[in-house]
Structure 1
Amino acid sequence: MTGVAVVTGAGSGVGRAVAETLLYAGYRVALAGRRRETLEETAKGDGVLVVPTDVTDEASVKALFDATLAEWGRIDVLFNNAGTNVPATPVEDFTVEQWTKVVDTNLTGVFLCAREAFRVMRDQDPQGGRIINNGSISATTPRPNAIAYNATKHAVTGITKSLSLEGRRYGIACGQIDIGNAATPMTERMSQGVMQANGTKAPEPTMDVQNVADAVRYMAGLPLNANVQFMTVMATTMPFIGRG
């Protein structure tokens, strides 16, 4: 076996593709997400643990890591992937409820999962492990009308850097993958046109989500004395470079 991985948001999209790819590569994988039924659709074959999890809830996150340890005794990789968004909304119309929904999942959830993984990786023998955070191209270049998503993804970069710094003494590596327009149910709207920086709407190209999964597998498979600190994987012709 290659190792033990925890994948959050594993019931669909990027999380499902990464979980399936890690399983194929020989990892034992704990699948975390809100809905058991979608996690069970992801779970195929041996070496899978389904753990319904609310990443915004501290007790639920602890239960996820406790269950994984009880099953396999250690955790080598966390793909910190769970995230959410709300419909495009100008900042002046953005509600506190919308803000809280995005921040709770995209920021607090990432922190809670990273903290629990860090504790496990610090204390296990052999010591160490790898945390891979799912950022976004919005971690560096925001889209209009998405203030909470943009803010949380910028903040994920700060979490990644903090974990990298504090993990050195324990053999814990942390990197971030920033994804642009992978073809998933969340990005289906791209083909219908999305808001551009100049206020117009335009369709955007997408790429196969398997490209993302292969990139995460590469990051996860490095020895702990090497790290991909930041990686951007995107549809080649999407409007990112020069956006705005």
Structure 2
Amino acid sequence: MQETAVQAVQEAEQLQSAALLPAPVPRILTRRSVKYEEDLHKHLGLVLFGAYVLGSASSVAGMPGPVWLPTMTGAAIGGVFAAAHRYCSARVWRPPNAPLNILVTGGTKGLGKALAREFLTHKDSVVITGRSHAALAQTMAALQSGLQGLGYAHTPQLRGIVCDVTQPQQVVALAEQAREMMGSVDVWICNAGYSGSFKHFLDQEPETIEAVVKTNLLGTLLCSREAAKLMLGQQLGGHIFIMDGAGADGSATPQYAAYGATKASFPQLAASLRAELASTHVGVHVLSPGMMLTELLLEGATAANKQAFNILCEHPETVAAFLVPRVRSAVSCGLNGTYTRYLTPASAIYRLLTSPGRIGRFFDASGAPVYAPEHERILGKGAKATARQQALARARTSSLGVAYSLSLALSFVVLSLDSHASAFTGH
């Protein structure tokens, strides 16, 4: 009986995995193909898994009463979650019907580069900006060779435009050039940012404070303005995504006071733009990448800071894998006002509770880095580990999977108690 129970559990786990994990789907889909081709096996799997696991568990446990009751209960639970999964696939997780045209400012390194790479893997057309031709050429060559190394025979369209987002005329020219290159801009991500030096605010040079404010706040204002003007002239409108950062929630950012002050303005800016554009087809959203191992974060960081980074940080490519599918879904579903957070309070608490298993992930006890450079993480020895992290970040069904499993467990407990109570009372 023990071997049978173990075998039943293994088969159930395989069936649950097939039911809950998203399967690869074509890049260009119609709503009907998403509705009928992708979902059927998942929904059927959820129903069958629920029926199988409760029926088998009750039989192995020797529960009194007819076995059809827990079997039907499991099937009913599976049906409920199949309906929830179907609704989310159609209304929340739906990918666009065709590739998108994307513009990412500050796209030559860090998160901007990772976002461009992730959009390109979805076959979207991407324009990135940088302050120099040399930086753009280097980044574009790295992205193109990287995609070919990942198995993409035909690299999607990637272009670069030199632009200093603090200069109004350059931002105006950026919008016009992007329109000429791609025909339209579906998504404009205001990502360009500057943290300044890691110092007490009273010790910061005035020139550094000015550069932080101009790049982050003025640059985002100018880009949002030109993006909105461009998209108002497009038949289908478009979507503006503003990238927040530390301090966006009003919390203190010691050593980065100017940076935090600029980021604190972004939710308010997004709300104001949304109100002004409420009657149009232009959506305004905010993205929150959390803590990433980038030059912005590591500048001036101490050994103690780096131990915290082991717990709370991720590489830019992992964060991009989380953000990009949600950006694409927001566009596909015509949403407005989304605030997509990678590091939520709940996930931060979970990371703190599991901190013993995160010690030494990126830095050793002395603060020396132990992680591989970007090229190795994407194409070298660390590629498989990176791919696993990205797959987890892209997944949408984790919360449904947890709720589904807990529902089955609770139902088993309730049925077991009820059966034993009925047997005890003789009813």
Shorter-chain TM-score range = 0.7 to 0.9
Instruction: Looking at secondary structure, tell me which structure has more strand per residue.
Output: 1
**5+ unaligned residues in a row in structure 1: which ranges?**
195-200, 239-244
Alpha-carbon distance between aligned partners in 2 of 1:92 and 1:67, rounded to the nearest angstrom: 41
Superposition deviation, residue 177 in structure 1: 1.5
Q: CA RMSD for the aligned pairs? A: 2.1
Alpha-carbon distance between aligned partners in 2 of 1:214 and 1:165, rounded to the nearest angstrom: 30
Secondary structure in 1 aligned to 2:279? helix
Quick check: 1:174 aligned with 2:284?
yes
Query: 1:158 aligns to what?
Result: 268
Superposition deviation, residue 202 in structure 1: 5.7
* Aligned 1:188-227 pairs, distance under 5 A: 188=298, 190=301, 192-194=303-305, 203-205=308-310, 206-221=313-328, 222=330, 223=332, 225-227=334-336
Quick check: 1:85 aligned with 2:195?
yes
Superposition deviation, residue 214 in structure 1: 2.2
Q: TM-score, normalised by structure 1?
A: 0.86
Q: Is the 8 A contact 1:219 1:227 kept in 2?
A: no
Superposition deviation, residue 106 in structure 1: 0.2
Quick check: 1:184 aligned with 2:294?
yes
Alpha-carbon distance between aligned partners in 2 of 1:192 and 1:219, rounded to the nearest angstrom: 34
Secondary structure in 2 aligned to 1:138? coil
Secondary structure in 1 aligned to 2:195? coil
Superposition deviation, residue 210 in structure 1: 2.2
Q: Between 216-225 and 98-107, report the one with greater CA deviation.
A: 216-225
Q: Which amino acid in structure 2 is aligned with residue 193 of structure 1?
A: A
Instruction: Looking at secondary structure, tell me which structure has more helix per residue.
Output: 2
Superposition deviation, residue 180 in structure 1: 2.1
Superposition deviation, residue 145 in structure 1: 2.2
Quick check: 1:149 aligned with 2:281?
no
Alpha-carbon distance between aligned partners in 2 of 1:53 and 1:202, rounded to the nearest angstrom: 36
Alpha-carbon distance between aligned partners in 2 of 1:192 and 1:41, rounded to the nearest angstrom: 31
Alpha-carbon distance between aligned partners in 2 of 1:165 and 1:217, rounded to the nearest angstrom: 25
Superposition deviation, residue 82 in structure 1: 0.3
Query: 2:400 aligns to what?
Result: none
Secondary structure in 2 aligned to 1:29? strand
Alpha-carbon distance between aligned partners in 2 of 1:129 and 1:90, rounded to the nearest angstrom: 40
Quick check: 1:134 aligned with 2:239?
no
Which residue among 162, 184, 187 is the counterpart of 1:74? 184
- Say if 1:86 and 1:143 are closer, same or farther in 2 by CA, change over 3 A: same
Alpha-carbon distance between aligned partners in 1 of 2:213 and 2:298, rounded to the nearest angstrom: 23
Q: Between 111-120 and 218-227, report the one with greater CA deviation.
A: 218-227
**5+ unaligned residues in a row in structure 2: which ranges?**
1-97, 145-154, 353-427
Superposition deviation, residue 192 in structure 1: 3.1
Secondary structure in 2 aligned to 1:231? strand
| 1:3-37 superposed Cα distances (whole Å, 9 cap, x missing partner) | 21110010000000001111111211111111222
Query: 2:122 aligns to what?
Result: 25
Among all aligned residue pairs of Structure 1 and Structure 2, give the percentage whose two residues are the same amino acid: 26
Query: 2:21 aligns to what?
Result: none
Which residue among 37, 40, 46 is the counterpart of 2:134? 37
Q: Which amino acid in structure 2 is aligned with residue 19 of structure 1?
A: A
Query: 1:102 aligns to what?
Result: 212
Alpha-carbon distance between aligned partners in 1 of 2:317 and 2:336, rounded to the nearest angstrom: 21
Alpha-carbon distance between aligned partners in 1 of 2:114 and 2:296, rounded to the nearest angstrom: 14
Alpha-carbon distance between aligned partners in 2 of 1:215 and 1:130, rounded to the nearest angstrom: 18
Q: Is the 8 A contact 2:101 2:184 kept in 1?
A: yes
Superposition deviation, residue 143 in structure 1: 1.7
Secondary structure in 1 aligned to 2:342? strand
After the TM superposition, list the runs of 4 or more consecutive aligned residues in structure 1 that deviate by more than 6 angstroms: none
Q: Between 107-116 and 218-227, report the one with greater CA deviation.
A: 218-227
| 1:111-170 superposed Cα distances (whole Å, 9 cap, x missing partner) | 1111111001111123x1111111013211232122210110001222111122222211
* Aligned 1:44-59 pairs, distance under 5 A: 44=144, 45-59=155-169
Q: Which amino acid in structure 2 is aligned with residue 35 of structure 1?
A: S
Higher relative contact order (CA 8 A, sep 6+): 1
Q: Is the 8 A contact 1:160 1:176 kept in 2?
A: yes
| 1:31-53 superposed Cα distances (whole Å, 9 cap, x missing partner) | 11112223223322341111011
Secondary structure in 2 aligned to 1:78? strand
Query: 1:14 aligns to what?
Result: 111
Alpha-carbon distance between aligned partners in 2 of 1:156 and 1:228, rounded to the nearest angstrom: 13
Q: Between 211-220 and 145-154, report the one with greater CA deviation.
A: 211-220
Superposition deviation, residue 203 in structure 1: 4.2
